[in-house]
Structures are given as C-alpha cells and as structure tokens.
Amino acid sequence: VKIDLRLDDLDGYQPQLVLFLAPETTSMNDVNTDDDLWNVFEDAVVTMMKERIHSDINHTWFSFKTKQEDGSFLSGPNAELQGEKIFTGTSLKIQRVGGRVSSLYSLNYNHETGIGTWISIVPEMELPQHYQSAPLKVGYRIKRDRKSGYFISTSSKILSSHGPKIQSDIPYQVSRRFFLRGAQDTTA
C-alpha cells in the first residue's frame, strides 16, 4: 500500500493505516467496523500490522501480530523508525511466504516499476497450520485513533502466487469529510 498523500494537520497521534490478512470466509462487515468495534475486526483477521505517527514527533511506531492456533494473538516486538514518519510516498507491505508472514516498509518503492528497497519491520511470524497455505483475503483500513476526520490517499498493488497471477491497482481516498476503508476480496 502506497501512501500517495497524507496530511497530519491534526494534533497528537494520527489515524493509523492497518494492513491485514483474513480467512477467505471473512465478510466486509467484519473488517469494515468502526473503531469502537475494533475487537470484531481483530477477531476476523489472521494477522495485521499498524503504523502510528504523532503530529509533533518525527518518528513512526509499528506493531505486528498474528493469530495462534488457540485464537489468541502473538505480538511481535514493537518497532520504531526514528527520525522518519511513514508519510507521503512511503509504502507498507504485509506478505505470506511459506506459511510465515512479515511486515515491511519502503521509503523509495516505485509501484510502477517494482523497484525499491523493502525493510523488515519485525521478525517474520509463523501462521497457524490451517492458514499457512489456505486462501486468505488481503486488505487495509484506517483506525481513526479517536480522530473525527483526516486525509489520506492511498494506492495498492496486490500480488498473488495462488492460481492466476493477480495484479491490481486500486486507489482509495479518504478525507476529513468522509472516509473509505479499503479491503480486497482477493486471495493472497
């Protein structure tokens, strides 16, 4: 997911971009919840990563967690990017390879050419056995973090090695007056 434009003109912590993988039976209603129903969203996903920035601090915090066999989440160590904000032009990625998931960011990835450097946020984590090769939905959404409005414009590219190759450029825009949460009904 590339952040095409992000304004941080709100005071304090900014709304968070959240990338996730969910079982193929997950509905849009399950992942498209308001923040006060965040637990419904968490129950619906297999793994997720979040970024967090503050209006006055040149810093980015990351969190990454994956559901375990018993349904609880295992959280990776929280990570920090000191001296940089995940901001306009930055890309975030969540991927599954060989039954393991990882979260990455890039300050220079070009979605048109596919060229750029991806940096791992935290160590990769193993998925529960039944999600290691099962079809999963991939998506992203905004966690408002108690903000009534915001502006973020994103574009995404989804690549899948299961079945036919899927490449999709899907633009989403969110603004102070309204917001759309992006989630793809696509296997990963």
Residue 85: C-alpha distances to residues 5, 60, 160, 165 (Å): 13, 5, 29, 33
pLDDT at 80: 84
The 10s digit of each residue's pLDDT in 45-97 is 999 999 998 888 888 999 999 999 998 998 887 888 888 888 888 899 999 99
Tell me the C-alpha distance between 49 and 125, whole Å: 12
Task: Write out the two tokens for 129.
Answer: 């056995």
If you average pLDDT over residues 3-16, what whole number do you get?
Answer: 83
- Residue 46 is which amino acid? V
Q: Rg of the chain over CA atoms, in angstroms?
A: 16
Give the model's confidence band at 164: pLDDT under 50 very low, under 70 low, under 90 confident, else very high: very low
Decide: helix, strand or coil at residue 180.
coil
Contact 96, 127 (CB under 8 A): yes
Please state, in angstroms and rounded to a whole number, the distance separating the CA atoms of residues 120 and 142.
21
CA-wise closest residue to 66 among 35, 105, 100: 100
* pLDDT for res 35: 86
